[in-house]
Structure 1
Amino acid sequence: MEFKPFIYNAKQEQIPVSIAPMTDADAQKTISAWQTAWTSDYLSDLRLEKYAAKLDEELIALGAYEILENALVIHIAYMEAQPESNPTLDGGIPKYTGIGRLMIALGIKLSIDNGFAGDVILEAKTTALAKHYEKDFGAILLPTFQASAPRYLIADDAAKQIFLTYLSE
């Protein structure tokens, strides 16, 4: 079985995408049009592994992942879809869908590749995202001990179901 990443176009057809480490050129593309400049100090943190999802040369999404060896989990520090597919920016008519699920699946893959159980944690930056993570990804709210965004765990059967979506022979 092989990890075969994909997203959906406006007709809800599966479109294969490639995933590779983010390049400086990828980060530069985010400076003016994206919600977040991926050249920021926070996203330049060397502890973060950054990946780009692309359709040919079109940059679809970026994700920043932190390997937390002591916790045996991958922390999805940040992920973002291109402006044309970002619910905050696309005016309700996304060019592509399924991007968030794909970037979570990549975190699950990194967890497995690092010898963990496929568990990932991530923060919900908005109430809408929190509901989305719970409803669509089976995320479980974790206790927080400080004033921060709600933190969620995607593990066990929920992680398995997401990951299996992208496996094929």
Structure 2
Amino acid sequence: MMSKLLSLSLSAALLFSMTNVKAGEILPLAVDLQKAGKTAEKHNIPVVVFFTATWCNYCKKLEENIIHPLLERTDIENYAEFRQIVMDKAHWQMKDFSGQAIEMKSFAPSQKVKVAPTTYVYNSKGDLIAEPILGLTLEEFYPGNLEKAINQGLKALGNDKRVDIYKMVEESKIEY
């Protein structure tokens, strides 16, 4: 019980550590999902895509309070390739998983994404391999939902590795 409380308090501290970063600075933009897929396939890990929008305050909270600290302070990138789709940026070009050029704002509708933020876990070919994470309700629950989705993806790929986000937060010795 004490270990769970410690993990929760550490994750809460991680969640509320703020950084001021712009799209693509820490969480790479999905400019070439085919290339990300090839890297993921090489390491037998999933591709995690965060669908965000510039107008979405929940997306900003997700990026600043959860995703950026995890990417900066843990080794979570050993468990997945992470990319970001900004759903409302006109004229931003990207390549989808098949290598076809597409406007970034058109990719989300092609994936039937309607809510920002949404998190999808794909295999290297662009097939969904885990339950999507729709929206951001309580920030305290998102790390556990992300951990579950990544682990579902790893299992679907036949990879025995499992991520433990709360343990990562604890071991990162983040000072607040």
TM-score, structure 1 normalization: 0.25
Structure of higher RCO (CA pairs closer than 8 Å, 6+ residues apart): 2
| Structure 1 or 2: more strand by fraction | 1
> Which structure has more helix as a fraction of its residues?
2
TM-score normalised by structure 2 residue count:
0.24
